[in-house]
Chains A and B, each alone.
Chain A
């Protein structure tokens, strides 16, 4: 597609439910990132995928959070047993990654998650 696409754009869920957030990166981009942006806060790194390498999961806040990237393209971020503190905007970005240190990251519009 023309840009990074995220779905849904908004998600309201009850505390304790599981949610899945989807990211469709720009075609040909080997790197994919998930970030979280809480109200009035900066970007919190969650996880990074680069090609076929093992993902960098160092930013995942707890074992309730997981992500996968199928076929080197679409990624799904899953939050199990959601808590109110999980409420935030979840941003996905992609870039050409490997071999291009100066490459910029292209961001999706984000998924606004509200846990009630």
Chain B
């Protein structure tokens, strides 16, 4: 079936460190891939997305590249800030489907 697997958290980093949150997926065809973010006390919101292989989604300094060969969509940021502390969810919509399938989420703590 269609599913999303992301690295377990929490991830704790110091400010200005490099961030990678791994995400891999299982899906037939060519799903669309998303990263959502949930800041403390707020609702989920879309961070970035990519709709076809080799596309790179980017927003707020975060990037993720759609890798068909490794079925991955890892989230990266070169220099994290305290304000990036949140829970990050990888998600997909599979080909021919319309339901968004989410990973379990990865909590990020950034220390000053």
Which residues from B are CB-within-8-Å of A93?
44, 100
| Contact (Cβ within 8 A) A50 B49 | no
| Contact (Cβ within 8 A) B100 A102 | no
| Contact (Cβ within 8 A) A42 B104 | yes
A18 interfacial contact with B, CB 8 Å: no
Task: Return A96 CB to nearest CB of chain B, in Å.
Answer: 9
Within 66-108 of B, Cβ neighbours of A (below 8 Å) are at 89, 91, 93, 95, 97-105, 107
B20 interfacial contact with A, CB 8 Å: no
| Contact (Cβ within 8 A) B89 A48 | no
**Number of residues from B at the complex interface, CB < 8 A:** 25
A107 interfacial contact with B, CB 8 Å: yes
Most buried by B among A43, A56, A93, A95: A43
**Within the complex, which residue of A42, A98, A108, A110 is in contact with B89, where a contact is CB–CB below 8 Å?**
A42
Q: Please give me the residue from chain A that is nearest to B44 by CB atom.
A: A107
Within 71-113 of A, Cβ neighbours of B (below 8 Å) are at 91, 93, 95, 97-98, 100-105, 107-110
**Number of residues from A at the complex interface, CB < 8 A:** 26
| Contact (Cβ within 8 A) A43 B105 | yes
| Contact (Cβ within 8 A) B44 A91 | yes
| Contact (Cβ within 8 A) A102 B43 | no
Query: How many angstroms from the CA of A42 to the CA of B51 in the assembled complex?
Result: 23
A31 interfacial contact with B, CB 8 Å: yes
Most buried by A among B31, B36, B103: B36
Which residues from B are CB-within-8-Å of A107?
43-45
B17 interfacial contact with A, CB 8 Å: no
Query: How many angstroms from the CA of A43 to the CA of B104 in the assembled complex?
Result: 6
Residues of B within 8 A of A (CB): 31-32, 34, 36, 42-46, 49, 51, 89, 91, 93, 95, 97-105, 107
A-B contact pairs, 23 of them (CB 8 A): A33-B100, A35-B102, A42-B104, A43-B44, A43-B104, A45-B99, A45-B102, A50-B99, A93-B44, A95-B98, A97-B98, A100-B98, A101-B32, A102-B49, A102-B51, A102-B93, A103-B93, A104-B46, A105-B46, A105-B91, A105-B100, A108-B43, A109-B42
